[in-house]
Chains A and B, each alone.
Chain A
Amino acid sequence: MADPQLKLRRGFTLGVRHLVYAVIAFIFVLPLWWAIVSSLRPNTEVFADIFPFTVNALLPSPLSFEAYAGVFERGFGLIIANTMFVAIVTMIGGMIVNGAAGFAFAVFDFKGKKIILTLIIISFMLPFEAIALPLYTVTLQLGWLDHVAALIVPSIANGLAVFLFYQFFSQVPKDYLEAARLEGVSWFNILLRIYVPLSIPTCISAGLLLFVFQWEAFLWPLLAMPSQQFKVIQVGMAAFQQQYQTIWNQLFAVSVITALIPIALLLPLQRYYVQGLAGAGIKG
């Protein structure tokens, strides 16, 4: 340890490492950085300092918040609130519905359980896009077109979330349950008092998956809401882009807001989100 040459070499290696990581991270995050910087400039200055390119292009100068003010004047506040509503209702409904099913699969034995579970696992391997077009016909048959229910109800039952809860509840020792049953505690109370409190981390994982799924939904709200009276963020943003291609700084401001909300949620709860996703990978 005391060898100064070794110390120097270690310091050098660390420096090189930091350089490599910094360059890769810079390239990786550059589009988002440029979006943030440009959203903080007046619209006429978005393409300044690019030809010829100077470092100034990556700094918010001159600084202006007009884009953010403009975005909210265009009603994006309401669109964000709409999307929040859809995402939160789906999240809460999904935790209850999928949690209940996961509990039933983990605790009870019944005919056809294996087959149903396999079908559920297959159901989440098929991406939503594959069924979006026929789901449009289903929505038409139900008379839900242009109704908020069309955005929320089909997304609540989620095979991945059922699977996550099933996996978690299977690991809970059955002794608790047996003891409680012998004491004469009702099933409802067992679920509420023992299983729900234990499953908080799984609830967060499943909740995040459902929230992000709704926040990022694009094709489905595009099809299910043809009149676009109830707008959600991804579709609202795409429509804004098609209509006003050159209000760059506001387009960037909307993009930044749309990205920052899930990022603000995912970074602190990263561990749960990763666990949720990893749960999908484990069964492979």
Chain B
Amino acid sequence: MVRSKTPLFLLAVLLAPALVGLVVFRLYPIALAVSDSFFNMLRGNQVFVGLDNYVALFTDSAFWKSLQVTLWFNLLINPIQIALALGLALLYVQKFKGVGFYRVLFLIPIGVSLPTAVIIWRIMLSPDGLANGVLNIAGIPGQPWLTSESLALYSIIAIATWKGISYWMIFIIGGLQNISPEIYDAARVDGIKPWQRLVFITVPLLRPTLLFVLVADVSINFLLFAPIFMLTQGGPADSTNVLMYEAFKSGFIFGDMGRAMAIIVVVVVILLLIVGLQFRLLAGKPEGK
């Protein structure tokens, strides 16, 4: 470290803006969510109600249904996104004449925000839209993608996946480029088949990257909001009513901030448990190190 004395005043000036910002706008809101979840608004006054909001939540079937939707949604979307992102990344890193053109195309959806993706897909999935038109070629009748209880959640998964793949692909490309080519050369000399190379070499060596992508992806999808707000408002028949939307509804439509905060606290606790579990199960040191 620096031998000359640390100038304390300078240190304070440099650190203060960032630290104050992070404390006020990141840490304090978390503390506030926890404390507000113990209060209720009664005739304009905040009244301490202890664990009442949580008790009410855990005895509310709407909450359990919403939790179920959230978990099912995440159980599907995260593996799908990561598998497709891995596939696309493997295509991306291949080297042959003209691959640069495809690389640009693979990267383009990064610039597409979730609301943009939602607007485009809503029209694509409308009864007269492109999706049904393409199905029609194969003689399959049009589907009510966004208005049917059995399809709406899967349509949202498709939209969020399409938007997410190229973003996650970037991280995996970074991981792939860290694998030394000599390992592949050795594998080729030993006559290992491409699928064996993928399962026994690439994926194990990618484990730290894949773990990071999994944790980050789960965190985002667990709190996914925009597509549900814009497309289905939790419907039809609550089939897309994830916890994040339930919290928004409680706080901003029904004005019950205590319940909203309790839901947010529960969501974050579940998320932390899942992330912790993922680290426990997947973070072991890679073999041969």
Contact = CB atoms under 8 A, between A and B. Distances in A.
Nearest to B110: A266
A101 B4 CA distance: 19
A116 B136 CA distance: 58
Contacts of B173: 274
B107 interface: yes
A72 to B, nearest CB: 17
A101 B36 contact: no
Size band of the interface chain A makes with B: 35 or more
A248 B119 CA distance: 9
Contacts of B102: 21-22, 24-25
Contact of A110 (B6, B96, B113): B6
B120 interface: yes
Contact of B18 (A47, A100, A136, A265): A100
Interface in A208-264: 215-216, 218-219, 222-223, 234, 237-238, 241-242, 248, 251-252, 254-255, 258-264
Contacts of A264: 111
A146 B83 CA distance: 41
Nearest to A155: B25
B268 A126 contact: yes
B15 interface: yes
B175 A281 contact: yes
A281 to B, nearest CB: 5
Contact of B225 (A32, A129, A265): A129
A7 B170 CA distance: 34
A178 B2 contact: yes
A129 B244 contact: yes
Contacts of A219: 225-226, 229
Interface string B157-182: 00000100100001101110000000
Contact of A270 (B98, B107, B124, B133): B107
B18 A21 contact: no
Contact of A97 (B21, B170, B257): B21
A192 interface: no
A13 B120 CA distance: 36
A34 interface: yes
Contacts of B30: 126, 130-131, 134
Interface in A259-284: 259-267, 270, 273-274, 277-278, 280-282, 284
Nearest to A48: B128
Contact of B22 (A157, A216, A258): A157
Interface string B28-52: 1110110010000000000000000
B145 to A, nearest CB: 13
Contact of A255 (B2, B105, B116): B116
A21 B91 contact: yes
B111 A255 contact: no
Contacts of A47: 128-129
A59 interface: no
Interface in B74-130: 88, 91, 94, 96-99, 102, 104-124, 128-130
Interface residues of B, number: 98
Given A137-B29, A219-B226, A263-B108, A238 B124 contact: no
Nearest to A260: B111
B120 A135 contact: no
B1 to A, nearest CB: 4
A138 B226 contact: no
A56 to B, nearest CB: 11
B205 interface: no
Contacts of B257: 133, 137
B137 interface: yes
Interface string A100-116: 11011101111000001
Contacts of B24: 138, 154
B19 A101 contact: yes
Nearest to B1: A109
Interface in B245-272: 247-248, 251-252, 257, 260-261, 264, 267-268, 271
B14 A284 contact: no
A177 interface: yes
A92 interface: no
A274 B176 CA distance: 13
B271 to A, nearest CB: 8
Contacts of A69: none
Interface stretch (B62-70, B183-191, B193-201, B206-214): B206-214
A219 B248 CA distance: 10
8 smallest beta-carbon distances between A and B, as pairs: A157-B21, A263-B111, A50-B133, A101-B18, A284-B212, A134-B29, A129-B223, A154-B25
8 contacts: A21-B99, A25-B105, A29-B108, A120-B22, A123-B26, A133-B247, A135-B29, A234-B116
Interface of B: 1-4, 6-7, 10-11, 13-15, 17-22, 24-30, 32-33, 36, 88, 91, 94, 96-99, 102, 104-124, 128-130, 132-134, 136-137, 162, 165, 170-171, 173-175, 208-209, 211-213, 215-216, 219-220, 223-226, 229-230, 244, 247-248, 251-252, 257, 260-261, 264, 267-268, 271
Given A110-B11, A134-B36, A263-B111, 4 more contacts: A38-B123, A157-B26, A281-B171, A281-B212
